[in-house]
Structure 1
Amino acid sequence: MLKIENLSKVYPPSETALQQIDIEIEKGEFVGVVGSSGSGKSTLLKCLAMQQTWTSGTYRMGDHNITAQGWSGKRKVRRECAYLEQTPVLNVHRKALKNVLIGRTQQTPLWRMVTGMVRNDDYMGAMDTLERLGLLEKAHMLTSELSGGERQRVAIARALVHGAQVLLVDEPVLGLDPKSAETVMNTLRELALKEQVTVIAVLHQVELAEKYATRVIGLANGRIEADVKGRRLLQTEKQRLSI
């Protein structure tokens, strides 16, 4: 589904963040990206979301050469890939359901952003998604009243309702208590395994990647130093990653 060839990212004047990254990611994979601080994890995620410009490289999504399509390629990525930050960007003055329905600016018709009106089919679809993520009883609560883990799942529900096929998630459980973290990680794993949503998650705790991801990619100094099917990393692999 996603094919990245020779991705490099250099920040001016000469800070190299990523070097010659080659990855193929299939539909329905849950990829955990690990590495020490400054290894390039978050930069990689932002490049995949087209939140950062590429210094060089080729990006393919299915049959589409994104880098060759210019603006339309970026639009396709931003339509089909949802980039979820460490702290979900939600309107805390709206209810969880409204946050899911209104969605992100580039995915939502202007009239809906202005009026807040939704069709009945959209309403039912959002409620179904919230139910799948264990949030049905929270649908009519203000987002400010939800826990950190519940907000993260609201952000995931919003992405799914608005058509995301790929979730690019940066530290989804940072600052959460163990129970909430487990719920979020199980949610991501089930979306990948049962619904064939592709999940790429940057994870600070390598143990979470080993336990939940179907594939673990390790970065060090902007390069891929490990790429294995979901399992515990060997001590030698951890040493190469400095984790």
Structure 2
Amino acid sequence: MINVNRLNKSVDGRKKQILREVSTRFEQGEMIGVVGPSGSGKSTLLRCLALREKWDGGEYTWDGETVIAGGGTGSQKYRSRCAYLEQNPSLYPERTALKNVLIGQVGQTPLIRRITGMVRSDDYMGAMDELEKFGLLDKAHVKAGKLSGGERQRVAICRALVHGAGFIAADEPVVGLDPQSAERVLTTLRTLCAEQGKIVVAALPMELAERYCSRIWGLYEGELKLDISGRRLTGEEKRSIELV
């Protein structure tokens, strides 16, 4: 279980507050959709939860162990257990899908791996297994720059799993994808929760959050206004976060 208590986040020297006193908890196997108008703080929330942004204040615990106390970014031990999926995943375009899965995320890969593409041989089969699970085995030796948007997202998911992520924060992962590709990506994420007990928190359009997620968070002006499980939002709830 992950507990978040009074998360605060500001920018511009703390002149502009993005997240205000966000408190919640979530467990293994949950897929949570984050909805809200543009500028409500969804991306910042996801980056904070995935330990990609420094917290100005708040407490963060994971299975009873303290990750953040009073602010900060958390230790590398916990950052390595979190993955952050961007709208357009950062892959090495001249590397194959397999190499991207194995050598890790752009900006977080050790220099020697970036230069040589070297990987540990015992990781190879695990990476191929993940690519096969998500229908990408035939793309393993295709350069990432030649993959479709949906394929790139699934490669990023495979990469997160191979590198040990138990929690995935996905920032609008299906923007720009055709309906079939979007369905493949979201079904993949939902399967990870149901079959592997992963936690996924994804910023999504309302209709997709209601279709694929077991729980919906409504964010408005940096505050967590709604936390609804097992059903669609009512018209009144949608109006409370200005989605209608």
Question: What TM bracket, shorter-length normalisation?
Answer: over 0.9
Label 1:54 to 1:119 Cα distance change in 2 as closer, same or farther (>3 A).
closer
Mean alpha-carbon deviation: is it higher for 59-68 or for 171-180? 59-68
Match of 1:103 in 2: 104
Match of 1:64 in 2: 65
- Please tell me whether residue 216 in structure 1 is matched to residue 207 in structure 2: no
Question: Is contact 2:102–2:124 with CA below 8 Å preserved after alignment?
Answer: yes
Match of 2:129 in 1: 128
Runs of 4+ in 1 over 6 A off after TM superposition: 69-72
Q: TM-score, normalised by structure 2?
A: 0.93
Unaligned runs of 5+ in 2: none
Match of 1:9 in 2: 9
Q: CA RMSD in A?
A: 1.9
Mean alpha-carbon deviation: is it higher for 173-182 or for 64-73? 64-73
Mean alpha-carbon deviation: is it higher for 18-27 or for 65-74? 65-74
Question: Is contact 2:97–2:139 with CA below 8 Å preserved after alignment?
Answer: yes
Higher helix share: 1
Secondary structure of 2:131's counterpart equals helix
Matches within 5 A, 1:1-243: 1-11=1-11, 12-68=13-69, 73-104=74-105, 111-203=112-204, 205-243=205-243
Unaligned runs of 5+ in 1: none
Mean alpha-carbon deviation: is it higher for 61-70 or for 80-89? 61-70
Label 1:48 to 1:220 Cα distance change in 2 as closer, same or farther (>3 A).
same
Question: Is contact 1:211–1:231 with CA below 8 Å preserved after alignment?
Answer: no
Task: Give the drift of 1:221.
Answer: 1.2
Task: Give the drift of 1:110.
Answer: 5.4
Q: Deviations over 1:97-148 (max 9, x none)?
A: 0100111368756554443233443111100000111111111111111100
Question: Is contact 2:92–2:106 with CA below 8 Å preserved after alignment?
Answer: no
Question: Is contact 2:9–2:57 with CA below 8 Å preserved after alignment?
Answer: yes
Q: Deviations over 1:64-103 (max 9, x none)?
A: 2112498893312311001111110001111100100111
Question: Is contact 2:56–2:71 with CA below 8 Å preserved after alignment?
Answer: no
Distance in 2 between the 1:9 and 1:52 partners? 9
Q: TM-score, normalised by structure 1?
A: 0.93
Task: Give the drift of 1:38.
Answer: 1.0
